[in-house]
Structure 1
Amino acid sequence: MADSTNGVLYSTYQTPDNDFGILSGSINFTGLGSGSDFNSVIDQLVKLESIQKTRLETWKTSWQSKIKSMQSLNQRMEGIEEAAAAMDTEDEFMVKQASSSRSSTASATVSNSAKAGAYTVEVGENTKHILRSAGVASTSSNVADFAGGPLTLTIETGGNTINVSVASGRTLDQLRSDIESAVAAQAPGALEVYIENDGTESNPYHLVMKSAVGGADGRITVSANPTNLSLDYKDMALQQDWSGASTADIGLSGQFFGDKDTASIYEYVFQVSSSGSVQVGTTTFDLAVSVYDGATLLSSSTINVPADYVAGDALEVENGMFINLSGATVANGDSFTVRGFADDIDDAELGTWSGSTVSTGGNYLGTVNKTYSFTVVTSGAIQAGGGADTAVLRWTDSTGQTGTVSVTDSDQFYEVDQGVKLKLGATTLVNGDTFQVNVFAPDQQQGQDKGLAQVSKVVHSGFADQDVTAVTTANATFSYTYAGETIDITVPAGKTLSQLATMINGDDDNPGVVASVINDGLGLPNSYKLVLTGGDTGAQYQISSVSHDFSGNNFSSSGELGGGFTTSQWATNSMVKIDGYPPETDVYLQRTNNQVADVVDSVTFDLHDVGSAVITVSTDIISVKKNIEAFINMVNYTQEYIRKETKFDPDGENTGILIGNYSYYILKSRIDSALNTSVEGLVDGEDTYTHLSQIGIKTDPNAEGSWTIDSTILSNALNENPEAVADLFIENTTKESIGVAKRMFDEMKDLTDSETGTLNVLIGNYKGIITNIDKKIESEEKRIELYRQRQVERFARLEKSLAVLNAQDKAITSQIAQLPGNNSK
């Protein structure tokens, strides 16, 4: 029995193996062998061994806190620098304000550099229309070049119709006299006529007409014009009415763009070919069209007028010209004549040009006078047929628009802008060479009820609905000219009125025109109106013509603009006089918007309504005072921080992190010194003020030396002599004085320099100290880890020994328990 028991005993006892786990990285003290938690013992030993590391970490935190403090102080000093920079010059210190005697008419915004003063702003009311022709070489130039007897020039203005008999061969001066005589006889005082010399080299003399009636009612229109002078932005006019018994009224629409390079004046002769006297819109007939340049036939064509022609609808001729006829009669063989003008682009004025010839071509489609200035920006040789270099010219016009033209071929005209073209003779273009081209539009000054800038708005005569009926039953093109640029839109068959508006608005080439559909509410077959509205104010942003070739469903193509459209609102410039300028009666400064920013330096006048207002520019004392207060508050904010960071607390709880730091005391001293010393360059007895204390700014010993402002004293000083107060703060180059704001700005700029600034140098040094501490901490961490490993190994051996002893103890105890005499009975 005993053997059997002993066999069991020895089979269950295991001596710990040699690989018990001496390697410290895998040792885990369970306490099972010894009954002791050696992990806790080792942790406590390591903690005691880490005292030096803890001291280093505490030391590092202290330096980090000092750096943080210095960074915060730097930010505050930069705040002083910023506040000082905002008031260290006269323009910055002397904050300006503008007030208006009639803010409903005009107001103004100003910058601090504006000079104090009062400006009278007069926004025009019922401004008079001034119409100016393109130029000719001299007052004796022939401006009535046509064959046959006298023809009639018909002028309408202010409800008056003036018919001027013009004989062939009349000079510019004679034409002026003819018009004056007709006005005197038919509508005395209705029109002022004179000749103007614009001073340019090419065609400087212009015929000018000014209406006597102001506003839109005084607009001058020329319905018949046999002269060589374009007097309408459409660049076309009826030269001679029917030659026979025909009674159909003749209308013109569109905008003529025949090329100047072909002819300066195109003469279109329309002759009826019919079965006799026929009714327009009832019987079909043809119009034979012959186009002449003087006596030279340029082309011929035929226009068929069908029996179902709708009176007033546009009949396309060519080059943007459309005619329309009323529903009266025309007779076989009768004719009428229309002139198309391409005389609104002058020859180039060569300036510094060193190249060969510059030829102008095209037809200007804009609606305001301009000068295009060209400069060679990429030099190069150009030749007939191209193949050499590509030269580039940059152009800028007098409205501020700009662009470039790339030229390679001396035989080719190149598009510039708004219908203007250029051709350069074979030459080598030289960088910097310049020339100019003047272009003209008849409306020198529009007749406006209000002298305010507004957008162009044109309205169609109307359509049956907006979402059901198609505007065209076949694929077609809708075109409009805006700001001298023509936009073409392809319209698929079946599109409705609202879909057409959507296509116009979504067109990638749309320059800003907005299309909309309105219902006039009258319930008529034409109650739905397509409206085109320009996106920009100013006379140059006119919607000047509209056309389409829609078929079916009667989408009208009549109207003064063509395409069924008439002008609802002209695009206009603002009209204003500033302090009586311009001095000429009825002549105004014109701007494309309702702001005038380039007449008085640093003052922008905002125009709101007609009338007169006085704009007063003065120093804004309240704002100046606020800036001074903000400056002093920033100083106090900084000084308070310095006091907090260097404070001594006997109890130690609130002692500043940088107590005893000499740099902080120096910085505070330099800030105080910038404010409390007299201003260099200002002299007692000569200058009103030389110290800040004289205007109520000083330190308060009862408030730890904070700077205080006596608001009453400061306000009185600013009201009595703001310039003298300014001299305390600004740099005055006349007096060679350096005020406290300028002085403080220079100090703070120096003290906060990223490389040499006092605190930035210290921060760099402190970061170096922290780097060294980090190295020591790293070294300590390695030493402590080795210490931990040694302790783990040491206690592992102890654990192993204790486990062996414990096992032996259990075995002996078990054997004793099994001895005879110890068995239970």
Structure 2
Amino acid sequence: MGYVSSLSSTVTAYEPVTTSGEISFSGLGNGTDFSEIIDATIDAESYQLENYESQKAENEYIIDLLEQLSDAIDDFNDTLDDMDELDEFYSMVGTVSDDQVDVDVDGNADVGIHTIIVNQLALQDVWVNTETAYDSEETVVASSATTLSIDFDGETIDIDVAGGTTLEGLVTTINGNVNARDKFEASILDDGDGYYLVLKSTDAGSDNTISITDTGTLTGMSVAGFENTQAGQSAQIKVDGFPTGADDWIERDSNSIDDVVEGIEFNLLSTTDGEAIQVSIDYDTDDMFDTITEFTEELNQIILDIQLLTGRVTEEEDSDEETYTIDSYALDIVYNEMKSILSSSALGFTRYDEDTGGDYYTALSQIGFETDTDEGSDTYGQLILDEDELEEALDNDPAAVAALFAARSEGESDSEGFQVISVIDGVTPAGEHNVEYTVSGGVLVSATIDGQEASIDGWTILGTGSKSKGLYLSVSDEGDGDFEGTARVKQGKIGELSDSLDDVTSSETGTITLLIENYEELVTNLDNQIYNEEKRLDALETSLERRYAALDATLSSYENQSSLLTSLTAQLD
């Protein structure tokens, strides 16, 4: 398999200038084949060139392996990014007590029970020209050019109709009118006895109504001939008893309503005849279980990739995969950092206590995860999941399980004297922050967070130092004195792992990125060494050819002299 360094293009390939091919050896001297001697000499001198080429191929292979690992980590990180916040990680399910309403829920929905009454469905405004049943769609309805005027929500839209237009052509003309687009549309109704022109508002709702104001000279049509067969109206509902007035309703222009209760989309199918339907929202623990197992499988593949690349484990003997290991301190750091994140408590979490509260789950080991320490196992070094224990944890407290994985930039205070107002996602460091402040004369006079001076504004404290930047607190205990407490910024394991992997594959400062650049630099240096060695060998070959050419000429001269002497001696005899 051949590899080409991404930096090799900066090195000019050496072009041989040897004169071989211009010089030939006849072997007239003593029958010696000097070409074979030169080739053997060059081959013997090429050991360093071969060594450089071997090193280059090896380094390019390492680059390829590192790029594959970087791509795999990026793909895994994409998966993490889709589940590193609670509303993304949560899986919720809605159950409806009757079939007049259906619901779709997402991770923003809260567990609980809602009621809904549907007084009326949203309908589109529909008008049919009942004056004339045309014989066919090809019936000409405009003997000459004319204009059809339609009012939509107080706006008059004039539609020019060309002479000779058929019923089907009229539909096309109306639907192609730029001013009518997205407001209303035309179609043809066939009742078996004839064809009728139908006009219908694009959207439902009482604000999306139409009326025909002028039919021009269209054949078989008049303003009075259009009947409003379905009046446009908005959906009317009450949710959780609101609005309270008997004739008061929440109105929407659609039967799919997603802006009344956060995280819930109500799909209205029919009215409820004044009866309240119950909608129950709960965690979909089966889907959350699947999300966690998917996370585990992809994570273990990344762990295995690094193990194979660093020689911690080897491929099975019957595997067709070519194995290669890299002795890299940088990859060791990446591997150990991942293992540390997976085995440690979540940042900013505090162990649950019946009296003081806290987080029910603070580590993956509490919900069924452990690291396989059996070196003879196929899953050595990977996370092993006890599915029964995970199911028990999800049944016991699914919100706590979700928080362990996907809490992100959630600020909490362990002190009664101050509260966390906000933190800045991606800026405020996750973990525990020590807060100290002084109140004197009924005024907040100083504050530090993690030993760094903080900004004060009235009764608020803002972390400006590197350890707490963006941590915004509100002091509620205004009594004089020196106070101390802990603010916590919580981050789940997915976010912590994702942030760490971002540092690994960052395009500028990533651990693997810099490692690849280092090997690419080695390849470039080897290209230069190969160039110089090829140049040296070419010069050597040229020199040898000239020297052996001179030798061959000398031997040939001696041979000629010998022949001459032999001939003269024979004549003397």
What's the TM-score once normalised by structure 2's chain length? 0.69
1:90 and 2:86 matched: yes
1:53 and 2:41 matched: no
Q: 1:65 to 1:481 in 2, by over 3 A?
A: same
User: Which of 714, 718, 743 is residue 394 of structure 2 equivalent to?
Assistant: 718
Q: CA RMSD in A?
A: 3.9
Secondary structure of the structure 1 residue equivalent to 2:198: strand
**Correspondence for 1:769:** 522
| Aligned-pair CA distance for 1:600 | 0.9
Q: 1:122 to 1:476 in 2, by over 3 A?
A: same
**Correspondence for 1:784:** 537
What amino acid sits opposite 1:682 in the alignment?
Answer: T
Q: 1:581 to 1:29 in 2, by over 3 A?
A: farther
1:682 and 2:343 matched: no
**Correspondence for 1:637:** 301
**Correspondence for 1:514:** 185
The answer for unaligned runs of 5 or more in structure 2 is: 1-16, 414-487, 568-573
Contact (CA 8 Å) 1:519, 1:528: kept in 2 or not?
Answer: yes
| Aligned-pair CA distance for 1:116 | 1.2
| Aligned-pair CA distance for 1:488 | 2.0
Contact (CA 8 Å) 1:79, 1:634: kept in 2 or not?
Answer: no
**Correspondence for 2:6:** none
1:112 and 2:112 matched: no
1:661 and 2:331 matched: no
Contact (CA 8 Å) 1:478, 1:489: kept in 2 or not?
Answer: yes
Distance in 1 (alpha carbons) for counterparts of 2:322 and 2:367: 36
Q: 1:91 to 1:491 in 2, by over 3 A?
A: closer
Distance in 1 (alpha carbons) for counterparts of 2:77 and 2:143: 73
Q: 1:548 to 1:665 in 2, by over 3 A?
A: same
**Correspondence for 1:537:** 204
Distance in 1 (alpha carbons) for counterparts of 2:243 and 2:314: 78
1:758 and 2:511 matched: yes
**Correspondence for 2:242:** 581
**Correspondence for 1:379:** none
What amino acid sits opposite 2:365 in the alignment?
Answer: S
Contact (CA 8 Å) 1:460, 1:531: kept in 2 or not?
Answer: no
| Aligned-pair CA distance for 1:567 | 1.7
Contact (CA 8 Å) 1:534, 1:543: kept in 2 or not?
Answer: yes
Contact (CA 8 Å) 1:472, 1:555: kept in 2 or not?
Answer: no
| Aligned-pair CA distance for 1:648 | 7.2
Higher helix share: 2
1:699 and 2:368 matched: no
Q: 1:803 to 1:590 in 2, by over 3 A?
A: farther
Secondary structure of the structure 2 residue equivalent to 1:566: strand
1:494 and 2:164 matched: yes
Distance in 1 (alpha carbons) for counterparts of 2:88 and 2:110: 13
Distance in 1 (alpha carbons) for counterparts of 2:208 and 2:553: 100
What amino acid sits opposite 1:593 in the alignment?
Answer: S
Secondary structure of the structure 2 residue equivalent to 1:489: strand
Distance in 2 (alpha carbons) for counterparts of 1:615 and 1:650: 54
**Correspondence for 1:452:** 122
Distance in 2 (alpha carbons) for counterparts of 1:529 and 1:493: 20
Contact (CA 8 Å) 1:465, 1:497: kept in 2 or not?
Answer: no
Distance in 2 (alpha carbons) for counterparts of 1:622 and 1:640: 27
Q: 1:84 to 1:480 in 2, by over 3 A?
A: closer
Contact (CA 8 Å) 2:124, 2:200: kept in 1 or not?
Answer: no
Higher strand share: 1
| Aligned-pair CA distance for 1:455 | 4.7
Secondary structure of the structure 1 residue equivalent to 2:170: helix
| Aligned-pair CA distance for 1:59 | 1.1
User: Which of 495, 502, 517 is residue 742 of structure 1 equivalent to?
Assistant: 495
Distance in 1 (alpha carbons) for counterparts of 2:221 and 2:263: 51
Q: 1:806 to 1:595 in 2, by over 3 A?
A: farther
Rg larger for: 1
Contact (CA 8 Å) 2:307, 2:313: kept in 1 or not?
Answer: no
| Aligned-pair CA distance for 1:715 | 0.5
Percent identical among aligned pairs is 29
Distance in 2 (alpha carbons) for counterparts of 1:23 and 1:637: 53
| Aligned-pair CA distance for 1:605 | 1.4
Matches within 5 A, 1:72-87: 72-79=68-75, 81-87=77-83
**Correspondence for 2:227:** 566
Q: 1:763 to 1:472 in 2, by over 3 A?
A: closer
Contact (CA 8 Å) 1:642, 1:668: kept in 2 or not?
Answer: yes
Distance in 2 (alpha carbons) for counterparts of 1:539 and 1:809: 123
| Aligned-pair CA distance for 1:54 | 1.4
Higher relative contact order (CA 8 A, sep 6+): 2
Distance in 2 (alpha carbons) for counterparts of 1:99 and 1:798: 101
Distance in 1 (alpha carbons) for counterparts of 2:309 and 2:303: 10
Distance in 2 (alpha carbons) for counterparts of 1:733 and 1:530: 62
Secondary structure of the structure 1 residue equivalent to 2:412: coil
